[in-house]
Amino acid sequence: DVKVTQSSRYLVKRTGEKVFLECVQDMDHENMFWYRQDPGLGLRLIYFSYDVKMKEKGDIPEGYSVSREKKERFSLILESASTNQTSMYLCASSLTGQETQYFGPGTRLLVL
Amino acid sequence: AQKVTQAQTEISVVEKEDVTLDCVYETRDTTYYLFWYKQPPSGELVFLIRRNSFDEQNEISGRYSWNFQKSTSSFNFTITASQVVDSAVYFCALSEEGDSSYKLIFGSGTRLLVRP
């Protein structure tokens, strides 16, 4: 079974804080993704990575950065959290190409 | 432009009823992939099925079945004899072969409530 884990289920941060969201997969997948999910807007891709140290912007990268130092770990970084980054963040991984993406449990982030 | 439409925002049924969730997609690619995911209240997206554009065979898995029709650009999902545990938000998604980001384009989701 594919397992994708995220470091926190719930996070509360203050405006201006630097926030790290961690994602780990245990299936040796090439691709990893970060999405955010908002009511009325659905799921939108923030960043993805197709290899170690490789990263590509998704549809809404502004205000975010990512890091992939090891194949199994993909981190999402909010450089200076803002209230409009309050959202549900979902990490996913896939073997390669358009293979099935498997999702982690999500992190609900509240920025005050 | 690519798009996935789930016109049913919310459906409520009584346990043991059959229910069909609709999904209509738009794409210019000839090779693409369609998915269904389930999101229970816990929040995790659970993978249900993946279909490629060249395989129009219907699929059945237990109480779940999927009807893929390229002629109408639809990929509908039916739950037979629904159960309370089926209550969740269901998402249909599209991935295009020509998209180098491999991203999933999601519909807005259909919230299914199964009442005892």
pLDDT tens digits for A33-57?
A: 999 999 888 899 999 999 998 999 9
Find the CB nearest B47 among A97, A98, A100: A100
Cα separation, B36 vs B107, whole angstroms:
10
Name which of B104, B105, B106, B111 to mutate to probe chain A: the one with the most chain A Cβ atoms within 10 A of its Cβ: B104
Region B37-62: mean pLDDT is: 92
DSSP state of A100: P
Inter-residue contact B22 to B8 (CB < 8 Å): yes
The closest alpha carbon to A33, from B25, B104, B97, belongs to: B104
Residues B12-39: tens digit of each pLDDT: 999 999 999 999 999 999 999 999 999 9
CA–CA separation, A15 and A49 (whole Å): 27
Q: What is the pLDDT of residue B93?
A: 96
Residues above pLDDT 70, as percent of chain A: 98
Structure confidence at residue B1 (pLDDT): 64
Q: Say if residue A2's pLDDT is above 80.
A: no
Which of A40, A45, A106 has the CB atom closest to B44's CB atom?
A106
Q: List chain A residues with CB under 8 Å of B108.
A: 40, 42
Q: Rounded to whole angstroms, how far apart are CA atoms B75 and A10?
A: 34
